[in-house]
Structure 1
Amino acid sequence: MVRRRQKSVHSADTACPCGRGIPLGECCGVFLAGRSAPTAEQLMRSRYTAFAVGDAAYLLRTWHPSTRPATLDLDPDTRWTGLEILHTTGGGFLHTEGTVEFRAHSSHRGVPDSMHEHSRFVRENGEWFYLDADGGR
């Protein structure tokens, strides 16, 4: 089962939540619409954007089948407020593995929070997938 957040306030013309400073429709929106992310970092940014806009289906679709949960419930009271990419290894056009260290900022019912994580990605048949992560708050 996939549950979506209430209707998003983001449109193709608003700034992409991933923080690159370009419109959603020209940035992560193309990946949410079906194009494959060419790098692990771009997949990470698009997954963050999917959390921000409430697209649980995209999150499940880009999660590696070996670690993907059967369902994903997004908390409608969480607002994602910023993404910092801290470090990447591999994850490029010629790689099959990569990591992205990031800090994601959010607020839950108005209380600011952040999470710091090292995510692992794998590329199979030309598609990048989120595999797993270590990290915490």
Structure 2
Amino acid sequence: MSRAVSLCPCGRSDSRGRPLALAACCGPRLAGDAAPDAEALMRSRYTAYVLGDEAYLRATWLPDTCPPDLQLDPATRWLGLEVRAHRQIDADHAEVEFVARYRVQGRGARLHERSRFVRDAQGRWLYVDGEIR
């Protein structure tokens, strides 16, 4: 008997181009493992939006910039993620540019953002803010 493997919503693939399972990609981050870099954190945050995991989004957001109410809309259907660039500025600062496609009330839309990340004193990457493009 074969078990269906849940693919990771972030769309990351292995060296052969095969999509990674959630358990081998963003799953460990959502369970509490630290992201090794800003791109991995950004991908796991996208996955958290797909899964409606507000607690993870708050835990990985710089407290100074985290809004009091995230207003996650359960009717939003996230359709895919494309990472366009990951730039390490210095040891503790990075940027990730991405496009996320989604559907709300039957209408397709896309979010194109350049996100800023910072590494905190414990070495964890945190989302700071983003510039919508």
Normalising by structure 2, we get a TM-score of 0.87
RCO comparison, higher one (Cα < 8 Å, 6+): 1
Alpha-carbon distance in 1 for matches of 2:123, 2:39 = 15
| Runs (4+) off by over 6 Å | none
Q: CA deviation at 1:110?
A: 2.0
Preserved contact between residue 100 and residue 119 of structure 1 (Cα < 8 Å):
yes
Q: CA deviation at 1:109?
A: 2.0
Alpha-carbon distance in 2 for matches of 1:50, 1:73 = 14
1:55 maps to: 53
2:15 maps to: none
1:69 maps to: 67
Q: CA deviation at 1:115?
A: 0.8
Percent identity over the alignment? 50
Q: Max radius of gyration: which structure?
A: 2
2:6 maps to: 14
What SS class does the counterpart of residue 73 from structure 1 fall into? coil
Alpha-carbon distance in 1 for matches of 2:91, 2:106 = 40
- What letter matches 2:105 in structure 1? R
Q: Which blocks of at least 5 consecutive residues in structure 1 are unaligned?
A: 1-11
What SS class does the counterpart of residue 100 from structure 2 fall into? strand
Preserved contact between residue 86 and residue 101 of structure 1 (Cα < 8 Å):
yes
Preserved contact between residue 56 and residue 73 of structure 1 (Cα < 8 Å):
no
- What letter matches 1:118 in structure 2? R
Q: CA deviation at 1:71?
A: 2.6
RMSD: 1.5
